Structure 1
């Protein structure tokens, strides 16, 4: 059994919903956290997300300590080059575009020390391809957190043939230090979770498209019949229909027709119905 521990210093590139959640859980566990965002407005928004998440955790009795004290362990940075060289871990949590991720990972590697572990929070892109240009690929892997990060108990640890066993063990210890459970999978399109989750979600969308049942009935069938904590359509709304479409397109290109995105999904994304973040997806969130 891997011994749980927490890195003393963590960098997070991207302060959106996922990045803010990752920063929150590491700061709450005792790490000093540096969050990189693109400009002052984005930095302010990231801080507000983290502060809001900490306040909610405290209200629910899920936070040890005062939210303000935890927030003091979070520093907002405007440039990847400002990441502390002594950071033990840097996680990129930027949008699911391979070129962007490759760029920020290369810049992060140049900014930090040789002992720093780099990780991508991608939910489906090839870890080997993202790390192909890195000088130290043995210190790179995937850490796929789930939304909402503070409440989710799982982190998918994705390894490539070049990831060292020592780094894998180190990351598993950090995951357990967050009071989460790790599953280790080898690098493959969609890994384990996205591959299964997207396939179920796409079939649920096809059923809705074919008028087999309405969204609530489909979700209730999975929640009550199979004890899923959340149905596939409600889950898609939470993740974001645009995010699910991007993953489906990548899996369609790499794994074949069973991941072809339904027309209904494409149409909703084209109309801006992206789920909870826009107020409407398969459900009305207003």
Structure 2
């Protein structure tokens, strides 16, 4: 299968890596060729660590990288069987991408979005054929996390669902099916927890460290909710919470003011070097 991935950031590069690792040829794009090439370079660096740790041979790493081709624009996706959009969680950006790439896809190609919260039925309006459009939500970091949420839009065909489910299982992922409701399954549950943790921090219920340690040990989670928010990206968390709020009208999804302030300040988490923690050193340091 030829798989196109639009967006060469952390999520898109991860999707490209696992797709190539499963034997698919991957076309990787971003806003320009340099960004796409940087995404492939990041994959090479990650594979280098696996080789150094003897979790992968150099030959297998080279073969995987050889199946990933950075491309300059959407016209390169003409031969793709499946194209997965992994751009930022902004609906207007995603819709523009679908309209653009849709001009170049074959009559059988499937277009998918890695959106974590935006309704699939609504996004499908910008696709060339809503029957061949689906939500395929990977989790970060993609090579490590074992789950994919599949979200079927109102017009998504049975054939599209079956083909994408087969693709996901071929990557070694567990598949869960979610109805097309704001936040789907995981973020419908996770984001209110993260948002409430930030509310608790802003209201002085406890220190950031105690909130994280309390949830990590008391809930048996691998990391606390504030640390996790920094890993996901505070801007992404805020966008998802706003989708939940606007999509349901339920005040329980009102964004925590402190979260909004941090995003407004540009302190959006690990990818920016600072969120609720300072990530510029060898270990994260609380900033509050």
TM-score (norm 1): 0.92
- Tell me how far 1:272 sits from its aligned partner: 1.7
Question: Which runs of structure 2 are paired with 1:1-286 in the superposition (5 Å)?
Answer: 8-63=1-56, 65-85=59-79, 87-255=80-248, 256-286=250-280
- Tell me how far 1:46 sits from its aligned partner: 1.3
Structure-2 change in CA distance of 1:179 and 1:63 (3 Å): farther
- Tell me how far 1:43 sits from its aligned partner: 2.4
Contact 2:90 2:239 in 1 (8 A): no
Bigger shift: residues 90-99 or 41-50: 41-50
Structure-2 change in CA distance of 1:61 and 1:169 (3 Å): farther
TM-score (norm 2): 0.91
Q: Aligned partners of 2:271, 2:46: CA distance in 1, in Å?
A: 16
RCO higher in structure (CA 8 A, sep ≥6): 1
Aligned residue pairs: how many? 278
- Tell me how far 1:39 sits from its aligned partner: 1.9
- Tell me how far 1:114 sits from its aligned partner: 1.6
Q: Aligned partners of 1:284, 1:19: CA distance in 2, in Å?
A: 25
CA offsets 1:52-88 (integer angstroms, 9 cap, x no match): 2222343455546532221111111111011132x22
CA offsets 1:193-243 (integer angstroms, 9 cap, x no match): 111111000001011112222222212222222221222111100011111
